[in-house]
Chains A and B, each alone.
Chain A
Amino acid sequence: MNEEYKYDPEDLESLLLHKQFHELYPEEKAFVLKHMDSPEEYESMRQTLFELRNAASQGDWLQSDASIKKALLAEFASEKKGSFRVWLNALFARPQVSWYRQPALQLAFVVLVITTGVWLLVSNNSQQPSIAELNDNTPKEAISTASTQDTLEIQDHVFAENKMPHEFPIAPEPIQSVSVPQITAVEDEQHLLPPEEIAPQKAMAKEDNVHLIDTAPIVTAPPKAAAPATRNADKVLEEVSVEKLYKNETKTSINSKPISEVKDLLRFLYTAQ
């Protein structure tokens, strides 16, 4: 079958160009008559189409001016070879390309991703130290308790007379309180309390069915003139701890110094005295 018989049904122009009305297939006639009133109109339009094509082909065709060519060739010669240019249309308006493939959008997306990445990296770096940082929340006020004065006096005195090793600096952190991990039963400490306070404490302990646990800091003992130099440091420590506990003076702070270190210090102090 000839190519001219394979028409796109929408293409009335092709039908008009290639076929008279009586040459049309029944389905083509039906299609043509949807758009035209009669076969006569079809033939008339066909005639008009030929007239138009003739008019176009035989119409006046002007010759372009020779001066245009001359000017353009001069422009071509003046154009620098290989000059680098960036055409904005190439970045923003490429008609054959989907919107998401426009170079400008792609560039903007890359810049966004890089900026976000850098920002996240920087913000993570600034937060990391704070995660691992020791939270030095030791209350300063707790350090300056009533016993601070005494402790400092002892330390100053002792440190001045004995040259301390470098582990004990000249102005060490005042050790005023330590955590005592051991459980001290109330019954074991009764001898340290005045007799009038023993009974209520006992009653409370029994009533609660618990042992009192000393988690409160122990304030180092103030220097007592009467205390012999050979006094056992452990004993002093226990005395001070329990005494402070029952006088409700030791609920101020918790120190992270290990008890062994505190004991060593106290031993050293008493030995020095």
Chain B
Amino acid sequence: MKRKAHPYERLSDEELMQHIRERDRMAFEVLYDRYSRLMYNYFFRMLWRDKERARDFTQDLFSKVIHHAGQYDATRSFKTWIYSVAHNMCKNEYAKHEVRQRAAVELKNEESMQQAESGKAMDRKLFNEKLKEALDEMDEVKRTTFELRFYQELSIPEISEIMQCSEGTVKSRLFYLLKDLHKKLKMFEGIAVWMAVIMVSIEILMEKLG
């Protein structure tokens, strides 16, 4: 049986924030349910795929929502506001940890040992791994732009507001980001094709042999 929707679920984010200002617990729960997964994954990808760190940051972020609800300007989009806060938290974290590259490399090596699949799924897995590598090599601005555009699926105006730059700059960054990724992933495509050819050849050989 389908759960009956709470009336608050029909409210906009901004309206929910008004209720949160008045210390309405239900409003906070609804808002949390809307954004917690998005924000948790945002932090996870932006902060070197560290689950514990992403967890702490998600908690901190919503703690800010609780305590700073009075500071929120209701004329502004809540979505861009919460992403702006999250973006600033990541920037502060990057400033604290300049060993980001080293940590990323360590994580990458750990994860690459876990992959063992075949066929199309492996292609996908390999593509994703290659994409992660490519993203890890990028600077934080490009990574943030990519994350907000492709994972969080925000619009160009929203990204420009969060990153405090013009829309033209966002578009330009996206284009050069795409070009950069295209170069890196093109190499992977070649390797993937050769791997697929080798896998098929092995299968045929095995069939013939036995």
Contacts and interface: CB of A to CB of B under 8 A. Distances in A.
Nearest to A82: B23
Nearest to B44: A62
B58 interface: yes
Contacts of A58: 124
B168 A10 contact: yes
Interface stretch (A45-53, A130-138, A160-168): A45-53
A64 B36 contact: yes
A76 B66 contact: yes
A49 B73 CA distance: 36
Contact of B67 (A8, A52, A61, A79): A79
A12 B66 contact: no
A140 interface: no
Interface string A65-93: 10011011101110101100101011000
Contact of A69 (B32, B128, B179): B32
Nearest to A58: B124
Interface string B122-149: 0010011001000000000000000000
A56 interface: yes
A15 to B, nearest CB: 10
Interface in B30-82: 32, 36-37, 39-41, 44, 51, 54-55, 58-59, 62-63, 66-68, 70-71, 73, 76
A62 B54 CA distance: 10
A93 B87 CA distance: 16
B83 interface: no
B contact patch SS: helix
Contacts of B153: 56
Contacts of B55: 64-65, 68
A45 B182 contact: yes
A96 interface: yes
B171 A76 contact: no
B172 to A, nearest CB: 7
A65 B175 CA distance: 35
B181 interface: yes
A73 B29 contact: yes
A44 B181 CA distance: 12
A16 B182 CA distance: 13
A58 B36 CA distance: 18
Contact of A75 (B63, B124, B156): B63
A73 B175 CA distance: 42
Interface of A: 8, 10-13, 16, 35, 44-45, 48-49, 51-53, 55-56, 58-59, 61-65, 68-69, 71-73, 75-77, 79, 81-82, 85, 87, 89-90, 95-96
The 10 closest A-B pairs by CB, nearest first: A56-B150, A64-B40, A64-B36, A48-B182, A81-B23, A12-B175, A10-B171, A56-B151, A87-B71, A68-B59
Interface of B: 23, 25, 28-29, 32, 36-37, 39-41, 44, 51, 54-55, 58-59, 62-63, 66-68, 70-71, 73, 76, 124, 127-128, 131, 150-151, 153, 156, 164, 168, 171-172, 174-175, 178-179, 181-182, 185-186
27 contacts: A11-B156, A12-B174, A12-B175, A44-B182, A45-B178, A45-B179, A45-B182, A51-B185, A53-B150, A55-B124, A55-B127, A56-B150, A62-B51, A64-B40, A65-B55, A68-B36, A69-B29, A71-B59, A73-B25, A73-B29, A75-B66, A76-B25, A76-B28, A77-B25, A79-B66, A87-B68, A96-B76
